[in-house]
Amino acid sequence: MIKPLKKGLVGGLSYAALGLAILAGCHATLAQEKSQAEAAKQAAQLVRATRIKRITRLAGPYARQVVLSARQFHVRPLLVASVLYVENGGDYTGSASRISSAGAIGPMQLMPLTAQVLSVNPDDVRQNIRGGTLFLHRMLDRFHGNVRLALLAYNEGPTAVASGNICPQAETYARRVARWIRSGTDWDLAPQGHWKCPHVPGRAQRPSGRDPARRA
């Protein structure tokens, strides 16, 4: 015969004791969740600090402008910093007024016609970096987020990339930039599906018109 529970008891526990047990369990759960949240926050801060350190190392004196321009045009700062680093060969001495043999100007090595299309003054460092970042943004948009094609277009010009007329030097350039982007563990800008595009246009005859972004 099962004895009925006494009034005010649940499973042999008083309602007060049961309430305290429930509260203790809730506090333990909340403490665990808070601990997990703190750990996630610390991990995020560490990743952020690592990214900032890498961007500063790559962009040197232009790190602040790189971050500002990247935020303005929704481009990853690490991508912009890597392009900047490769364009200058890691040496920013005299880069503000640097002009290449092809006529590319400044830290982001903008062609004069490209700068004109982007409505920036390539001789002004801030506008030069902003223009280069905007051009990267447009190339990423044009090639549907495909980072490899966007980098090829930055170096070779979008017309050449769209027609499949990509020179080996541009391929080397894209790989060099990618190496710096992928030098850390937080790379998530270009998943394999974007970097290794399943369809890359085949070679075609070079267009007769000069691409404003082409530098060689």
Question: Per-residue confidence of the chain (216 residues) as pLDDT tens digits?
Answer: 555 545 555 455 566 666 666 666 766 676 676 777 776 666 566 556 667 888 999 999 999 999 999 999 999 999 999 999 999 999 999 989 999 999 999 999 999 999 999 999 999 999 999 999 999 999 999 999 999 999 999 999 999 999 988 999 999 999 999 988 876 434 444 433 344 333 333 333 333 344 555 564
The answer to whether the CB of 46 falls within 8 A of the CB of 181 is: no
Are 201 and 161 in contact, with CB atoms under 8 Å apart?
yes
Domain assignment of residue 207, yes or no: no
**C-beta separation of 202 from 185 below 8 A:** no
Q: Quote the DSSP letter at residue 13.
A: E
Specify the pLDDT at position 43. 59
Confidence at residue 2, expressed as pLDDT on a 0 to 100 scale: 53
CA distances from 45 to 32, 41, 51, 60, 80 (A): 20, 6, 10, 21, 21
Q: Over the range 46-71, which residues count as b (16 or more CB within 10 Å of their CB) and which as e?
A: eeeeebeebbbebbbebbebbbebbe
Report the SS3 class of residue 70.
Answer: helix
Q: What is the pTM of this model?
A: 0.68
Enter the tokens of residue 4: 């009925």
What residues pair up with 161 in beta bridges, in sequence order?
Answer: none
- At 17 the pLDDT is 67
48 in a structural domain: yes
pLDDT for position 182: 78
pLDDT attached to residue 20: 66
The candidate with the shortest Cα–Cα distance to 82, out of 97, 62, 105, 103, is: 62
Q: How far apart are the first and last CA of the chain?
A: 97
**Residue 156 pLDDT:** 93
Domain-embedded: residue 157: yes
In a domain, 214, yes or no: no
CATH number at residue 88: 1.10.530.10
Domain count, the chain: 1
138 with 70: CB under 8 angstroms? Answer: no
Q: Any idea which residues carry the catalytic annotation?
A: 87
Domain membership flag for residue 166: yes
Residue 208 lies in a domain: no
Tell me, what amino acid is at 37?
Answer: A
| The residue type at 16 | A
Give me the amino acid identity at 199: H
Which amino acid, one-letter code, is at 70? Answer: A
Residue 200: inside a domain, yes or no? no
Range of the domain at 156: 10-195
| Residue 211 belongs to a domain | no
Residue 136: Cβ within 10 Å count: 24
